[in-house]
Amino acid sequence: MSTDKVLVFGHQNPDTDTICSALVYADLKQQLGMNVEAVRLGEVGAETQYALDEFGVDAPRYVKEVANEVDKVILVDHNERQQSVQDLDKVQVMEVIDHHRIANFETESPLYYRAEPVGCTATILNKLYKEHDVSVKKEMAGLMLSAIISDSLLFKSPTCTKEDIEAANELAKIAEVDLEAYGLEMLKAGADMSDKTVDQLLNMDAKEFTMGSHNVQIAQVNVVDTNDVLDRINEVKAEMEAVLAKKGLSLFLLAVTDILTNDSLAIVVGEQTKAVESAFDVSLNEGQATLKGVVSRKKQIVPPLTNALS
């Protein structure tokens, strides 16, 4: 390719932070004079669509691969290659803006890498507007606010920091919305699982991790009623077993997170289910256990499970 265009995208199975952060960072970069376009690697979920509709922004274009279009990319909200575009090794990663651990990421050349241990990529983007002295438009403020509400479950997640809360309050003013009221409506829009297929449930927000010598998939769904999933538990577990076999996973954990109680129901299959018991000090009953107060995959599920499997 001989284009100076750069694509900006978040992870596969995009959530609200990934979609909004790609759109917002593309906006900032465009204002700084760069030829960039936000794209997405998967379906836009109902929660994200609610946010896009509220602030009148179109979803990014869907792409399956990027090397056919550009030489250079910017990653937001992820860095691990197995969570990224399938042909990532064929392009140069110019920049990463992220708030996750770093793993399975390697470059040939120096790059701009900005990770901070905050609850949301958008919180970092809000800082970057300030560092570049660019003012934040109303609709971009709305998208960043939506991302923070989504990743922090309205500030309930332990990943949520003081910086996220301050950014959200600041952005709610620019976006001209009532933070609590808008936030709850947005979360509820994404938490109705009754009309989702089992396949959709498992792929809504699924990420694959390498833990020790094991490949582990952790999917998460937010619900207001766990029966949306429990009503179909046999079908759910059968499909999880199928994915497990197909991908050669050691473990597949589905976290069904109740956004009102802030507990998660873990549903697990695979040869390493014992690791779940030791990681969370619970006993599995037919492959299920309630993880009290667990709402964050990144902070409350990945670290203890990585420990248990390493």
Q: Which parts of this chain interact with a second copy (CB under 8 A)?
A: 99-117, 131, 159, 298-299, 302-303, 306-307
C-beta of 37 vs 77, nearer to a second copy = 77
Give Cα 36 to chain centroid, integer Å. 22
Q: Are strands 36-40 and 251-258 parallel, antiparallel or unpaired?
A: unpaired
> How near is the Cβ of 11 to a second copy at its closest, in Å?
15
Buried/exposed 101-133: b ≥16 CB within 10 Å, e otherwise? eeeebeeeeeeeebeeebbbbbbbbbebbeeee
Of 144 and 302, CB closest to a second copy: 302
For Cα atoms 21, 49, 230, give the angle at the middle one, nearest 5 degrees.
105
Of the pair 81, 188, the CB lying nearest a second copy is at: 81
151 assigned binding-site residue: yes
Smallest gap from Cβ 116 to a second copy, in A, equals: 5
- Nearest approach in angstroms of CB 112 to a second copy is 5
Closest CB to a second copy among residues 101, 188? 101
How far is Cα 267 from Cα 11, in angstroms, rounded to an integer?
23
- State the nearest-atom distance from the C-beta of 152 to a second copy, in Å: 14
User: How many Å apart are CA 158 and CA 260, to the nearest integer?
Assistant: 15
Instruction: Kindly tell me which of 30 and 92 has the beta carbon lying closer to a second copy.
Output: 92
Could you give the strand order of the β-sheet that contains 214-223, starting from the edge strand earlier in sequence?
206-211, 214-223, 251-258, 264-269, 288-291
71 is in an annotated binding site: no
| 99 annotated to a ligand binding site | yes
Output the smallest distance, CB 36 to a second copy, in A: 17
Extract the tokens encoding 126: 């809000």
- Ligand-binding site membership of 17 (annotated): yes
Q: How far is the CB of 162 from a second copy (least distance, A)?
A: 15
Tokens of 290: 């309630």
Measured from the CB atom, is 141 or 302 closer to a second copy?
302
Cβ(228)–Cβ(193) below 8 Å: yes
Q: Which of 82, 107, 100 is nearest to 12 (CA)?
A: 82
The DSSP letter of residue 193 is -
**Residues forming the annotated binding site?**
11, 15, 17, 77, 99, 151
**Residues forming the annotated binding site for Mn(2+)?**
11, 15, 17, 77, 99, 151
